[in-house]
Structure 1
Amino acid sequence: MDPISKRQKPLEESKKMEESEEEEDRLSRLPSSIIGHILSFLPTKQAMATSVLSTKWKHLWKSISNLDFDDWFVTKHPHNISTTRSVRSFEKKLFIDFVYQVLLLRNVWDMNKFRLKYINKSSASHINAWVATALSRKVRELDLFINNADGNILRLPGDLFISTTLVLLSLRLTTRVSLNVPNLVSLNSLKILHLHSVGFSDEDTLHRLISSCHVLDDLSIQDCLWRNTGVVNISSSSLKSLIMKTMFIDDKCKIVLNTPNLQHLVYHNLLKGGYLWDNLNSLVKASIRLTLYSTAKARDRVVKLAVSQLVEGVSGVQRLYLNGDSMEAVQLWCCSLPEFHNLTYLELGHIKGVSWKLLPDLLGTSRQLQTLVFEDLSTVGDENHQLHWYPPEKVPSCLLLHLKVIEIRKFRGERDELKLAKYFLKNANVLKKLIIHPTVSKESEVCKELLMLPRGSKTCQVDFI
């Protein structure tokens, strides 16, 4: 290296250090309130670690409004079952001490968010003490993901159920133990309630909890278990979004919805004994993903009414998703489809077997349909590996007057797929776009053939994505 280059290298390094210091100074010159707000978006351990940066930063973390505790970040290997008992015990104590230390050292009273993810086995007394502290600080968002394997009933502080400031409550457990909900519940500010892997000892517990939330807007129930329950009753005049996934209840159990302002519904579950969904006049969007077993398919008399009730309940939506099992259930047990008089967007999952027979009827009862999406046209698993698509004798009015967009995902270039596309291109008189997501080359013969098919609409474009 020549002498000039040797002199330039330390000069460049010095310049980089000066630039770095300037950037750090620029951040440090921000008002303390803004820095504290920025730190609130970090996991609490990382926010606390900034105290070593300088004298100014030493106490800034104490003013953060969001607390985020995760034993994964605080301990080295909290979820490693091969770790010795003594090490796990030490790290458990380390995490517990850390949470208490943060709660004691904070120098602001109010708290915006308290998030706790604690997968290590823990004493309920510590969790309740932390939750009680958060509630006493008028916390607005409470997010708990805890290991509750030690007991059959989860007993949270009574103040949780009479909070006047709580806006969001998310509770996720590692086992489906029963949630102890007191008789007196008053959550007048709660807008979002998410329950995951929670147990209910009777049919009144959830109803009592929901009916006390007078401004509840968003309810999510996933992987929850009901014991001694014949009816799951969800009644709320304020609820706008409802998610129900994998509900562990008896097959004969009825699901009752009295939610006149509900706009978005997700129901992914086994087929149950009945659906009293009479008051869904505001529903705009629904996703129905049923799971059928062979035993369910044999219970014609039991499920026939249930399927009809479910379909009738969502018949007023504008946007609808149905998976293959849902279509099969409707095809097998629903004598006649209701009119989907508002439906403009329809997305269909992997259609198999007899499910194809439902498609012409769906199109015939969806007179205002503008967008039709096929998620997967694969014939894998179908008898004879064929699409069971038989064009209706009369072209549905939605194809003649309203259908503007058709989307086919996972297009494999099979002859039956081409046959389906040919029918829609020929009969959709106002079609603007046929969107294809091919799994084969866009230069393949089948894609070229698709481009050459006759079109009933002069303005239709075929787009390969």
Structure 2
Amino acid sequence: MPAGKSRKGAPAAAPGSGGDRIGALPDEILHRVLSFLPAQQAVQTCVLARRWLDLWKSATGLRVVGADSKEPAPFEEVREFVDSLLLLRGSSPLETFEVRVAGDAVDVRHLRLWVRYATMCDAQVLRLRIHGEAPAFLRMEDPALASRHLTNIEFRGLVFNNEFLDFSRCPVLQDVKIKDSSFMNAERISSLSLKRLNIIRAMFNHSSRTRIHAPNLASLEL
């Protein structure tokens, strides 16, 4: 076949002449590109072409946020979407799992299931941010996190119970950031691996102390 010709005799596209350059990238790169999109937009890429049909299922990050990536998503608007999304996505490994939602009645049961899904997919970074006037209360029986892969955790807008901040089952955890949350029912923050702890605008119990047991802590900001 003569150089510069396609199978049907049409001139072959030059590297800089346009075409689907993004679609020509390897799957591994597209999985990372999709990880920066809000989950709603990442799923919509399935209609671009046959090759894109399942690419979103292997994105290295899953971000449940507002459509502009900056504002939180209304919880009631995304609840069913996320439940279906996790079922369809399967167990592809994750690097980052982020939930940024708002509402006056955020269902902590759903949040707990979503977080458990993230840990089952070996997420290394977990960001759980609740925005609004009403914080999300963890029930007394809600268990502590357990993951051999989590290295970075960010929480916002939570009322912790006495067990949730026991990170003894997260042996490689390095960074924890907590903002606009309540430690009124939390007696202890513990981790043998934790290096950096940052707590901003928190409410503590005036009649008892929340003890921090982190013997390898290198940086503490309150």
1:123 is aligned to: 107
1:67 is aligned to: 62
2:148 is aligned to: 164
Question: Taking every aligned residue pair, what percent have the same amino acid on both sides?
Answer: 25
8 Å CA contact 1:139–1:166 kept in 2: the answer is yes
Q: Measure, in 2, the Cα distance between the counterparts of 1:196 and 1:190.
A: 18
Provide the secondary structure at the position in 2 that maps to 1:142: strand
Once the 2 structures are TM-superposed, how far is the Cα of residue 101 of structure 1 from its aligned partner?
A: 2.3
Once the 2 structures are TM-superposed, how far is the Cα of residue 49 of structure 1 from its aligned partner?
A: 2.3
Q: 1:107 to 1:38 in 2, by over 3 A?
A: same
1:134 is aligned to: 118
Q: 1:97 to 1:21 in 2, by over 3 A?
A: farther
Q: Measure, in 1, the Cα distance between the counterparts of 2:220 and 2:135.
A: 29
Match of 1:217 among 195, 198, 201: 195
8 Å CA contact 1:131–1:157 kept in 2: the answer is no
How many residues in Structure 1 have an aligned counterpart in Structure 2?
Answer: 204
Q: 1:195 to 1:92 in 2, by over 3 A?
A: closer
Q: Measure, in 2, the Cα distance between the counterparts of 1:43 and 1:109.
A: 17
Q: Which residue identity does 1:205 align to in structure 2?
A: E
Structure 1 unaligned regions, length at least 5: 1-17, 80-90, 245-465
Once the 2 structures are TM-superposed, how far is the Cα of residue 122 of structure 1 from its aligned partner?
A: 1.9
TM-score (norm 1): 0.39
Q: Measure, in 1, the Cα distance between the counterparts of 2:80 and 2:136.
A: 26
2:178 is aligned to: 195
Once the 2 structures are TM-superposed, how far is the Cα of residue 133 of structure 1 from its aligned partner?
A: 1.6
Q: After superposition, where does 1:66-465 map in structure 2 within 5 Å?
A: 66-70=61-65, 72-73=66-67, 93-120=76-103, 121-147=105-131, 153-155=137-139, 157-158=142-143, 160-173=144-157, 178-182=159-163, 185-186=167-168, 187-201=170-184, 205-206=187-188, 209-210=189-190, 213-229=191-207, 231=209, 233-244=211-222
Q: 1:78 to 1:216 in 2, by over 3 A?
A: closer
Once the 2 structures are TM-superposed, how far is the Cα of residue 227 of structure 1 from its aligned partner?
A: 1.0
Q: Measure, in 2, the Cα distance between the counterparts of 1:92 and 1:41.
A: 20
Q: 1:151 to 1:217 in 2, by over 3 A?
A: closer
Provide the secondary structure at the position in 1 that maps to 2:129: strand
CA offsets 1:191-214 (integer angstroms, 9 cap, x no match): 111111221226x623xx23xx21
CA offsets 1:259-282 (integer angstroms, 9 cap, x no match): xxxxxxxxxxxxxxxxxxxxxxxx
- Alpha-carbon RMSD across the aligned residues, in angstroms, is 3.1
Structure 2 unaligned regions, length at least 5: 1-12
TM-score (norm 2): 0.77
CA offsets 1:286-311 (integer angstroms, 9 cap, x no match): xxxxxxxxxxxxxxxxxxxxxxxxxx
8 Å CA contact 2:75–2:101 kept in 1: the answer is no
CA offsets 1:422-462 (integer angstroms, 9 cap, x no match): xxxxxxxxxxxxxxxxxxxxxxxxxxxxxxxxxxxxxxxxx
8 Å CA contact 1:141–1:169 kept in 2: the answer is yes
1:58 is aligned to: 53
8 Å CA contact 2:108–2:137 kept in 1: the answer is no
Provide the secondary structure at the position in 2 that maps to 1:127: helix
8 Å CA contact 1:190–1:216 kept in 2: the answer is yes
